[in-house]
Structure 1
Amino acid sequence: MARKRYSDEDILKLLREIELKLADGDDVRTACRGVGVSDATYYNWRRRFGGMGKSQLSELRSLEKENARLKKIVAELELDKLILKESELPKTEGLTTSQLRQAVIHARQKLGTSERRTCKVVGLARSSMQYQAVEKNDDALRLAMIRLAKSYGRYGYRKVAQLLRVEGWRVNHKKVERLWREEGLQLPQRHKKKRRLYHKDSSIIRLRPTHPNHVWSVDFVHDKLSNGRSYKMLTVLDEYTRQALAVEVRTRMGSEDVLEVLYGLFLRHGKPDFVRSDNGPEFSSRATQSWLEKVGVNPIRIYPGSPWENGYNERFNGTLRREVLNSEWFTTTKQAQIVINCWLRQYNHTRPHQALNMRPPIPETPVQYGTEHGG
């Protein structure tokens, strides 16, 4: 016969019945038999529930639950301490995922704990614990990256990454940077960002362009041919679109030559609102200034000795010198003009520009991120 289990309320009722029979003169054994329990059970019940009412029974239950909860918390804390002890984590900050994964495996082998709890204590996501690295063959991507690095010698990994995406590779700049370092390619040095130029009254000196043909900037670049003869290059840039409108190469160039070049650009691209230049005699001459005012173009001259006010054109001139003039040796100005024109088409239509969200100033075709290559 199976042993009957009594609830706490049933036990209280039976105790009251037994006590009433004892009050009527029955002995313990007789009173217990009358309710169907042994006298030993009666004594156990009285020791635990003697003198209790229903409210005291509810308080006893809550106390027992709280005591069990506290015991569980203490046991879990002790288990967490034991897991941390057995995991043998290095006492350093910035642990790698591989180190945390090895710590979880070691602790589970020693203690037999669950993966969920061990990962929670160690501080590793279960998805990271279960992740299996997939080996990829990046040889084709490396070859494509090296080919572009050879074709565009002065480009850094960010511009090469953009050109790879144009070709259809699904790859981000971080992976290209890693492969770039592994192949020992040169990384461009980071330069400190220059502060903005302000007057003492906190007004900005530089007029910022807001739309195409708003502000053009012009400047000269000087270099020498292989025979030692000097020549000049007039560079014209649209500051808003970053498009290099012209690089005119001549042995000599005065104010009339500057006006001749600007006249052709006005016919081809339209007149700008402003033309920014330095205080050279070719730009500050009365003939140049009066002609610009007659055709409705406002000249802007930077402060003397402040080339950073013409920063867009100065940066373009530096790019021209690094990517062309420092790598080529010209014998005639005609040869220089042909090579610079080829580079100019590449600069406007192919070369990614950081200020344009890694787009060229005049993309020949929209940039498409195809799936014909993996990466």
Structure 2
Amino acid sequence: MLDQPRSSQRFEGKPKDEDVRLTKRILELVRQRPRWGYRQICQLLRREGETLNMKKMYRLWKAAGLKVPQKRRKKRATGVSTNACHVQPAGFRHDVWTWDFIQSSTIDGRTIRFLNIVDEYTRQCLAIKVGRSITSEDAIDTLAELFAMHGVPKRIRCDNGPEFISCAIKTWLDLIGVEVLYIEPGSPWQNGLCVSFNSRLRDEYLHQTDLLSLEDARIKARAWREDFNHNRPHSSLGYLTPAEFARRCAASTSVAALLPFQQHSDSIESLPVSQTNLS
């Protein structure tokens, strides 16, 4: 032991038999409760009659290399900025529909949800689905009714909400041939037309009346939608109402469809008529 540096001589402690026994029991409890931390496991040990404080429990926990695993976040569909409304604007009626949820409550404090569907080109509110809870199946049923009434749109713009990214909706829309434009997460301005509609709905309807019940909310939402479509002028539409603008779009589409046939008939009438020589 002579001529050895003092720093090389260290005491190596041996774990006590009690610590070994406690660690073994801790590991057994962790296998049963993998989401519990050391505080909850310590309480279980105390209920079993073990005498140990929180500091000792934490020391044994760290020595065993234990750690509560981090929660795994569900993989969400991530949109891109190229799907924004100013990058891919609607070019004609029923080109792009947009939909989104807003939330309010009835006078008894219970939550009520609104699913709003708007035609971006005409600003026409196609539907306001009202319910305590609106699932992806409810959203599909609402879209199916609108498709039967107005036809199938070319594209639908939305955010990355759980209802919109569900496999049921994505599979159904893909089967029909509707392209879904998912905006970039955390960028509501990329779905600006629907956000603007939601603000009008809150300001002119939800903040101006009390919702007595679910049925009362549905009746009032239906009346407000009719007023919005037929009586509220929009500066972006040349101060026409959405219904007036939609009728003009439908009329111009009909005229445009007739033009090729009219030009074809005019060209036929202008052709020289050859007479057959009779001998």
Q: TM-score, normalised by structure 1?
A: 0.43
Q: Which residue of 220, 228, 242 maps to 1:361?
A: 242
Question: 1:180-217: CA deviations, max 9, x gaps?
Answer: xxxxxxxxxxxxxxxxx987xxx986311000010000
Q: TM-score, normalised by structure 2?
A: 0.57
Q: What is the Cα deviation at residue 326 of structure 1?
A: 0.3
Q: Is the 8 A contact 2:106 2:210 kept in 1?
A: yes
Higher helix share: 1
> Is 1:231 paired with 2:118?
no
Question: 1:203-254: CA deviations, max 9, x gaps?
Answer: 9863110000100000001001100000110000000011000011000011
Question: 1:51-79: CA deviations, max 9, x gaps?
Answer: xxxxxxxxxxxxxxxxxxxxxxxxxxxxx
Q: Which residue of 88, 95, 112 maps to 1:207?
A: 88
> Is 1:330 paired with 2:211?
yes
Q: What is the Cα deviation at residue 363 of structure 1?
A: 2.8
- Structure 1: gaps of 5 or more residues: 1-196, 367-375
Distance 1:232 1:342 in 2: 17
Q: Is the 8 A contact 2:85 2:192 kept in 1?
A: no
Distance 1:330 1:204 in 2: 32
| Residue identity matched to 1:258 | A
Distance 1:287 1:242 in 2: 27
| Residue identity matched to 1:228 | G
Judged with a 3 Å threshold, the aligned counterparts in structure 2 of structure 1 residues 290 and 198 are, in CA distance, closer, same or farther, namely: closer
Secondary structure, aligned partner of 2:243: coil
Q: Is the 8 A contact 1:198 1:204 kept in 2?
A: no
> Is 1:268 paired with 2:134?
no
Distance 2:138 2:184 in 1: 24
Q: Is the 8 A contact 1:349 1:360 kept in 2?
A: yes
Secondary structure, aligned partner of 2:173: helix
Q: Is the 8 A contact 2:115 2:129 kept in 1?
A: yes
Match in the other structure for 1:291: 172
Question: 1:248-267: CA deviations, max 9, x gaps?
Answer: 10000111111010000000
Q: What is the Cα deviation at residue 343 of structure 1?
A: 1.0
Distance 1:348 1:217 in 2: 16
Q: How does 1:177-256 map to 2 (within 5 A)?
A: 206-256=87-137
Distance 2:99 2:152 in 1: 14
Distance 2:223 2:127 in 1: 12
**Higher relative contact order (Cα pairs below 8 Å, separated by 6+ residues):** 2
Q: Is the 8 A contact 1:213 1:272 kept in 2?
A: yes
Q: Is the 8 A contact 1:225 1:332 kept in 2?
A: yes
Q: Is the 8 A contact 2:100 2:116 kept in 1?
A: yes
Distance 2:157 2:141 in 1: 17
Q: How many residues align?
A: 167
Distance 2:126 2:95 in 1: 14
Distance 1:219 1:237 in 2: 9
**Who wins on radius of gyration, i.e. which is larger?**
1
Q: Is the 8 A contact 2:100 2:115 kept in 1?
A: yes
| Residue identity matched to 1:357 | G
Q: How does 1:1-375 map to 2 (within 5 A)?
A: 206-363=87-244
Q: Is the 8 A contact 1:216 1:237 kept in 2?
A: yes
Distance 1:354 1:310 in 2: 19
Secondary structure, aligned partner of 2:208: coil
What percentage of residue pairs aligned between the two structures are identical? Answer: 38
| Residue identity matched to 2:93 | P
Q: What is the alpha-carbon root mean square deviation over aligned residues?
A: 2.3
Match in the other structure for 2:267: none
Secondary structure, aligned partner of 2:133: coil
Q: Is the 8 A contact 2:119 2:126 kept in 1?
A: yes
| Residue identity matched to 1:331 | L
Distance 2:81 2:172 in 1: 30
Distance 1:270 1:212 in 2: 11
Distance 1:217 1:357 in 2: 21
Question: 1:18-47: CA deviations, max 9, x gaps?
Answer: xxxxxxxxxxxxxxxxxxxxxxxxxxxxxx
| Residue identity matched to 2:186 | G
Distance 1:204 1:258 in 2: 22
Distance 2:190 2:85 in 1: 10
Q: Is the 8 A contact 1:214 1:240 kept in 2?
A: yes
